[in-house]
Amino acid sequence: MEHKNLHLLDHPLVQHKMAFLRDKNTGVKEFRTLIGEVSTLLCLEATRDLPLRPAQVETPVGMADVQMLAGRKLAIVPILRAGLGMVDGILQLVPAAKTGHIGLERNHETLEPREYYCKLPSDISQRDVLLLDPMLATGGSASAAIQLLKKKGVRRLSFVCVVAAPEGVERITREHPDIPIYCAALDQGLNENGYIVPGLGDAGDRIFGTE
C-alpha cells in the first residue's frame, strides 16, 4: 500500500539519534533527552507549510524585506503518557502554542484504547493542531484521538510520531486519509503483543522509568 500521507524524516541527525533511542541500554535520562531532540526536528518538518507574510525590519545597516509567520494559532496535543515526552522539544520551536491533553491507554489483551482524560484549549477548533505520540503501532490510539479532535471541530491536524508500524500507517490512511503523519522511522511490523518490531520498546515506560 502506498503511504501518500506519510512523511518519513530520514535526516542523518535524526537517524543517528534513533540508533541510541532503539538501544535497550540507553537509560531514562538520555532516552527522554533524545525523544525531545527528535521531536524538535520532526516539528520542523511538520510546520514546513505554515503560511508566511511579508514584512520589513530595520537592520543596523538598512531596511530588509523579511518573512514572518502569518499568525495562525497552533496547539499541540500529546496523547498520555508517552506523548508528554515530546512536548518540551516541540515547544522549543513553537513556544506560543497552547497544549491540550488526551489520555488513552491500550488494553494489553485487546489492544483497544480506553479514553481516561481529555482537556483541550477552548478554541481548539480554530487552531492548527499537532497530535503527538512517539509510537504508532496498531493505530488504534492515534485514530481514536484524531476522531475526538475532529469531533471538536479541528480541521487542520497532523500526527507526529517517532516510530511507526506499517499497520498503524495503513489504519490512519484508511480511516483518516486527510491526516498527514510525520515520523522518524517506519519499522517492519508488530509482534504478537502489538509491539513495534524492532521499535524501541514501551515508550511510556522508557520515558518515565516505569515497568
Write out the residues near ligand URA by the rule CB under 6 A. Answer: 82, 135, 137, 195-196, 199, 202-204
Tell me how far apart the alpha carbons of residues 68 and 128 are, in angstroms, rounded to a whole number: 17
Contact 139, 168 (CB under 8 A): yes
Residue nearest to ligand PRP (CB): 204
**Residue 187 among the catalytic residues:** no
Per the structure block, which three cell numbers stand in for 188? 517492519
Contact 133, 78 (CB under 8 A): yes
**Residue 202 among the catalytic residues:** yes
Tell me how far apart the alpha carbons of residues 113 and 170 are, in angstroms, rounded to a whole number: 17
**Residue 106 among the catalytic residues:** yes
- Indicate the residue type of 190: L
**Residue 110 among the catalytic residues:** yes
Residue 22 contacts which entry, ligand URA, ligand PRP, none (Cβ below 5-8 A, type-dependent): none
- Whole-angstrom distance between the N-terminal and C-terminal Cα of the chain? 35
**Among 85, 139, 166, 199, interactor with ligand PRP by CB under 6 A:** 139
Q: Does 203 help bind ligand PRP (rule: CB under 6 A)?
A: yes
Residue 121 contacts which entry, ligand URA, ligand PRP, none (Cβ below 5-8 A, type-dependent): none
Q: Which residues contact 106 (CB under 8 A, 6 or more apart)?
A: 112, 113, 114, 137, 140, 141, 194
Rule CB under 6 A: which of 63-92 touch ligand PRP?
Answer: 79-82
Residue whose CB is less far from ligand URA, 130 or 196 = 196
Residue whose CB is less far from ligand PRP, 105 or 175 = 105
CA distances, 175 to each of 20, 137, 155 (Å): 33, 15, 15
Q: Does 201 help bind ligand PRP (rule: CB under 6 A)?
A: no
Tell me how far apart the alpha carbons of residues 177 and 174 are, in angstroms, rounded to a whole number: 6
Q: Does 137 help bind ligand PRP (rule: CB under 6 A)?
A: yes
Q: Does 180 help bind ligand PRP (rule: CB under 6 A)?
A: no
Contact 121, 101 (CB under 8 A): no
Q: Which positions touch ligand PRP (CB under 6 A)?
A: 79-82, 104-106, 111, 113, 133, 135-142, 168, 194, 203-204
Q: Tell me which residues are annotated as active site.
A: 106, 110, 202, 205
